[in-house]
């Protein structure tokens, strides 16, 4: 199953402090290469496309770095739309339904996370989120996000952490009136009609949301 993907790269990365004064967060380096390159390596290995990258903060730096690659850009320089609004704006570029979405502020050690989701996807699902157990997580400051039942359906609980990768049918986005909104709003709608599912990642995951996470990520990658 070949799916289009949007790599979320529009955030300002304020928690990165001085590291994002002169670069967008996806250009912060981990193990000698920008975070966006870690995400692209996973996406390219999983045979997805088209690949869309959304832009807002210092967009010219990301465009220059990604020039020459088969990537389409979704421009949010007029205003941040958050993850849900950013996905909805990019729909004409993604050209398919369902779609993959992936955050660009994490690194992985284990199976390809996109392949894990693709292998777990079933027609009855409206959204499938990739989750990880807390003992396999580094760098994450928040509590858990979801619990999962025997059928794989999700509910809000502090058991498992969302990794920032999902497959989602985009019809739900037309039900939301806000211009800028989080994917959490879409997930709550989907969960009420029992369409929100999860898959648990077998490898390790590091959330690179602040400078202190960088050495943790590099240790996880055995650099």
DSSP secondary structure, 153-201, as one string: BEEE-SSEEEEEEEEE-GGGGGG---SS--HHHHHHHHHHTT-EEEEE-
Q: What's the whole-number average pLDDT of the chain?
A: 96
| CB 75 within 8 Å of CB 55 | yes
Burial bucket for residue 151 (CB in 10 Å: 0-12, 13-18, 19+): exposed
Helix (H, G, I), strand (E, B) or coil at 131: strand
Beta bridge partners of 137: 205
* β-bridge pairing 106-109 and 154-156: unpaired
User: Tokens for 157?
Assistant: 């609980």
Domains and CATH numbers, the chain: 5-220 (3.90.550.10)
Helix (H, G, I), strand (E, B) or coil at 45: helix
Which residues contact residue 142 at a Cβ distance below 8 angstroms, ignoring those fewer than 6 apart?
Answer: 161
Q: What is the pLDDT along the chain (223 residues), one digit of tens a residue?
A: 799 999 999 988 888 999 999 999 999 999 999 999 999 999 999 989 999 999 999 999 999 999 999 999 999 999 999 999 999 999 999 998 999 999 999 999 999 999 999 999 999 999 999 999 999 999 998 889 999 999 999 999 999 999 999 999 999 999 999 999 999 999 999 999 999 999 999 999 999 999 999 999 999 998 5
Tell me the pLDDT tens digit for each residue of 138-154. Answer: 999 888 999 999 999 99
Tell me the pLDDT tens digit for each residue of 110-120. Answer: 999 999 999 99
| CB 219 within 8 Å of CB 150 | no
**140/206 Cα distance (integer angstroms):** 7
């Amino acid at each position: 199953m070949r799916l289009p993907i949007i790599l979320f790269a529009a955030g300002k990365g304020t928690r990165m402090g001085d590291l994002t004064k002169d670069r967008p967060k996806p250009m912060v380096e981990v193990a000698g290469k920008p975070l966006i390159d870690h995400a692209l390596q996973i996406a390219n290995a999983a045979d997805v496309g088209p690949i869309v990258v959304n832009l807002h903060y210092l967009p010219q730096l990301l465009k220059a770095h990604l020039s020459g690659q088969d990537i389409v850009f979704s421009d949010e320089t007029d205003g941040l739309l958050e993850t849900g609004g950013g996905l909805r704006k990019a729909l004409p570029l993604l050209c398919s339904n369902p779609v993959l979405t992936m955050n660009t502020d994490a690194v992985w050690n284990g199976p390809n996370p996109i392949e894990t989701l693709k292998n777990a996807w079933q027609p009855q699902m409206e959204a499938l989120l990739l989750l990880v157990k807390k003992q396999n997580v580094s760098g994450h400051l928040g509590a858990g996000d979801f619990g999962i039942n025997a059928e794989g359906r999700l509910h809000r609980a502090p058991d498992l952490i969302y990794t920032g990768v999902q497959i989602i049918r985009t019809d739900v986005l037309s039900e939301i009136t806000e211009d800028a909104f989080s994917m959490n709003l879409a997930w709550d709608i989907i969960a009420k009609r029992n369409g929100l599912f999860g898959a648990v990642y077998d490898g390790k995951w590091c959330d690179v949301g602040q400078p202190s996470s960088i050495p943790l990520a590099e240790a996880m990658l055995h650099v």
